[in-house]
Amino acid sequence: MQTYREFRPTGFDVAGLGCDDRQDWLVGPCSITRDSGILDLSNWHSMIADFERIDPDGEDHEIHSFGHWACGWFEIMLIRPNSAVAQSAEEIEGALEN
């Protein structure tokens, strides 16, 4: 996973735009856009359910929504590094790669 500081939705966007206090947080392995299909939505909601189970108070994960010139809008999950949520995100990322 990459840090938010490194994250760019497209090659035409600025990395780490906004969220100044979350630059070192990780970007979750799933995201959605206005045009997301059923598989993307299923992965997104499964990831959220897992993170909410691990971190019910939401101290180690946050959903961030952005307007975007290309896709209308998108949402990503920011994750506190070195947390139980980060460990789960790494497992999800590995499972999605397979």
Q: pLDDT, tens digit, for every residue of 23-74?
A: 999 999 999 999 999 999 999 999 999 999 999 999 999 998 887 566 678 8
Domain ranges of the chain: 19-97
In one-letter notation, the amino acid at residue 47 is M
Is the pLDDT at 10 greater than 80? The verdict is no
Q: Is the dihedral of CA 97, 46, 20, 33 positive or negative?
A: positive
Separation between Cα atoms, residue 38 and residue 49, nearest integer Å: 16
What kind and span of H or E run contains 28? strand 26-33
Across the range 6-16, mean pLDDT stands at 75
Nearest Cα residue to 24 out of 74, 91, 79: 79
Residues forming a β-bridge with 78: 27, 62
The predicted structure's pLDDT at residue 14: 67
User: pLDDT tens-digit profile of 87-98?
Assistant: 999 999 999 987
- Do residues 22 and 62 touch, judged by C-beta distance below 8 A? yes
Other CB atoms within 10 Å distance of the CB of residue 54: 16
